[in-house]
Amino acid sequence: MLNIKVNIESALVKLQERLDILEKFREQGNIDSHTFINIRADIENLLNEIMEDKAVSIEFNSETLVMENTFSSINTKQNISKAAERGINFLKRLIWQISNSQNSSNNANNSEFTLDAAKLIIRKILNNFYKHIDVMYNSNVHGNGKILKENLDKIKIGNEYDVQRILYALIKPIFPLARVEVSDNTGYSMIRYDIIIEQYNMIIEVKCTRDK
């Protein structure tokens, strides 16, 4: 059970601000230890400010330790990048835990899906994606509706970005924490996830076949 010393909404806003700063730092090309140390210290201070249990900031400190290589600046930068990544994942987990705790207290009937249920839902959406396309864009519209079939006919899937947009719009209402076009640094190169649902450790790669 997470005990928050301040208003939960305020805590979430501050944590998200620090998460954005840490993500921006990691994505930039010029990674330096001095900046990372300052960001790390600021987050530790925030955690001590908002969390009752000091173990949270201690855990963050442990997760983001960096071993500097005095013989290789490149290796040091890689270590800092990996430490920043661990810090990002830590903050994301914490934000999710606090948000989930808040939602549960606001609505006793609210509960998250189990991993198996989440996988089943995603598979259902993916397997039946074509049905959504057929009903939404190809079927005749109601005579009293304001959506015109001639306008729907103008919407054509041209590439995977179009598929991604429509698929994300179906997933987001069910999994509000889902995100699109998320960059990640493996330590060797940057990769980008099309759609990610981090609370279930799920990544969806979107592809669009050609007519051939």
Domain boundaries, the chain: 8-106, 115-204
Q: Are 51 and 10 in contact (CB under 8 A)?
A: no
Residue with tokens 């051939």: 212
pLDDT at 200: 86
Label residue 84 exposed, middle or buried (CB < 10 Å: 0-12, 13-18, 19+): buried
Q: Are 83 and 66 in contact (CB under 8 A)?
A: yes
First to last CA, the chain: 54
Both tokens of 128, joined, read: 């039946």
Strand partners, 182: 193
pLDDT tens digits for 140-152?
A: 999 899 999 999 9
At 69, the pLDDT band (50, 70, 90 cuts) reads low
Q: Rounded distance, CA 174 to CA 113, Å?
A: 10
At 188, the pLDDT band (50, 70, 90 cuts) reads low
3-state SS, residue 194? strand
The whole-number average pLDDT for the span 94-120 is 72
pLDDT at 106: 53
pTM summary value: 0.50
Both tokens of 124, joined, read: 């259902």
Dihedrals phi, psi of 67, to nearest 5 degrees: -95, 110
Q: Rounded distance, CA 86 to CA 126, Å?
A: 31
What crossing angle do the helices spanning 160-171 and 115-127 adopt, rounded to 10°?
130
Q: What phi-psi label fits residue 42: left (phi over 0), alpha (psi between -120 and 50 degrees) or beta?
A: alpha
